[in-house]
Each structure stands twice: as structure tokens, then as C-alpha cells.
Amino acid sequence: MDLILFGPPGAGKGTQAKRLVAAHDIPQISTGDLMRAERKSGSELGQRFDEFMSQGKLVPDAMVIELMEKRLTREDAKRGAIFDGFPRTVAQAEALDALLAKLGRQIDKVVVIDVAREEIVERITGRRLCEETGREYHIRYNPPPPDVKVTQRGDDTEETAHKRYDTFEQNTLPVLPHYEAKGLVAKVDGVGALDEVTTRIEAVLPR
Ligand code: AMP
């Protein structure tokens, strides 16, 4: 199964993707995570990603598509993938269709995780990460235990959260009609307990 988790930054795509990985035995492919890993490695490519990421701007399509092509041809993604934070532009969606077609596959479902802007800004600014375990917390809704060392993503400020939401509305929302025309889109309410949202997503996935 090839599944796109679609929604604004901070909607819970990453969190829900991780929960679906175990149940469906396919990897999560997050372009944001791939870029952060590249940035952390200190490579020149990572520095180029950072110029865009730190400002809440989209990384140019050609760079993102190249990154995806490399990731998608790895062994673990042979039976499908959960795309998280990709595609974010119509050009990326078209490139993904072409990449999957080459592998004899196609997108099976696009699940929109629906969350309003005010809620998004609160979620993003309170988000914390334990780099050691990769576990995510929120200072209000899911506070880290006192002995767990957490960090905040550099782009999780209020200003950048608004900018990223603007970018989502301007560049990423126009991706939906591409999949709506194929009858692949289902929308779920992204507000509620993590388990509830997972159940809503599972309910719309192809059997
Ligand atoms: P995310 O972790 O998905 O919220 O992504 C963090 C940042 O990485 C975004 O604000 C963009 O700067 C960049 N990024 C991640 N995925 C993409 C993508 N598919 N296209 C362009 N930029 C991306």
C-alpha cells in the first residue's frame, strides 16, 4: 500500500505515520526527517536544505524529488510506503506518480488530517523532541518526564508556524484536486486523542 498522509505542518502526520508503520509493515518516508538527517550530518546538501527550512520555506522541487527517488528505491520500501510531508507541491505529486509508475505502483489513498490554524500554532510551538529516542512530546498535552532531555526544532517558533501554514495553504492545498480527481481522498478530524485519530485513519484505508 502506498499512502499519503496529508495536512498542515503539526497536524500529527509524523506521529500517526509511526503508528501505522507497525500495523502495515511499510516504512514512513518523511522528507522533513530525511532533510533534518542530512542537515545534521553537516553535508553541503544539508546546508542548502537549511537555508529554506529555517525560514519555513519549501525546499525546491528538484532537490526534494531527487531525495525521494533515492529513498523510494531502497529495499524496505518495496511493498509500499507512508508518505509524510510529501508531496507538498503539484510538481512533487506528478513526480511521485511517475516514480511509483516505474515501480508498477500507484497511490492507494490520501488521508487528509484536518486541523485548524490556531490549533496548529499551539501544537507546533509546544512541540518537543527527545533526540535519543525520537519520541515526540508537547509541553501541555504530553509533557516529557523530568529525566528526559528534550529539544525544540529550530523551525517550531510561532512566526515560522504561521509561515509554514501560509505555505501549506498556498502551495500544498492545490495538490488535493490532483488526487480528488482520482477519487483517492478521505478527510479525518485530526483533533482528539492519538488513538482516536489512528482509528479514524484506519477506518478509511483500503482493505
Ligand atoms: P516537516 O518536518 O515535514 O514539517 O518539514 C520541515 C521543513 O522541511 C519544511 O518547512 C520545508 O522547509 C522542508 N520540507 C520538508 N518536506 C518538504 C517537501 N516535500 N517539499 C519542500 N520542502 C520540504
Residue indicated by cell numbers 550530518: 41
pLDDT of amino acid 141: 85
**pLDDT at residue 207 tops 90:** no
H/E stretch holding 124 reads helix 117-126
C-alpha cell at 173: 492545498
Does 19 qualify as catalytic in the annotation? no
Check pocket membership of 20 for ligand 1, CB cut-off 6 A: no
Average of per-residue pLDDT across 194-203: 96
Q: At what angle do helices 44-53 and 61-72 cross, to 10 degrees?
A: 120
Task: Give the model's pLDDT for residue 99.
Answer: 97
List the chain domain ranges.
Answer: 2-115+171-204
Residues of the chain above pLDDT 70, percent: 100
Ligand 1 within 6 A of CB of 58: yes
Q: 525546499: which residue's cell?
A: 59
Residue 31 has pLDDT above 90, yes or no: yes
Q: Region 180-188: what's the mean pLDDT? A: 97
Q: Is 127 among the catalytic positions?
A: yes
Distance, in Å, from the CA atom of 78 to the CA atom of 80, rounded to the nearest integer, reads 6
Give the residue, out of 5, 33, 35, with the most ligand 1 atoms within 8 A of its beta carbon, to mutate for a pocket test. Answer: 35
Active site residue 88: yes
Q: Could you report the per-residue pLDDT of 127-156, keeping only the tens digit for each? A: 999 999 989 899 998 899 999 999 998 889
Mean pLDDT of 168-187: 96
CATH number of 2-115+171-204: 3.40.50.300
**CA 82–ligand 1 middle distance (angstroms):** 16
C-beta separation of 144 from 128 below 8 A: yes
Please determine, for residue 58, whether its predicted confidence score (pLDDT) is greater than 90: yes
Active-site residue, selected from the candidate residues 88, 105, 109, 128? 88
pLDDT of amino acid 155: 86
Residue 55 confidence (pLDDT): 87
Q: How far apart are CA 185 and CA 172, in angstroms?
A: 14
Report the mean per-residue pLDDT for the chain. 95
Task: Out of 58, 125, 173, give the residue to mutate to test ligand 1, the one with the largest number of ligand atoms within 8 Å of its CB.
Answer: 58
Bond from prior residue into 174 cis (ω within 30 degrees of 0):
no
Quick one: pLDDT band at residue 174, thresholds 50, 70, 90? very high
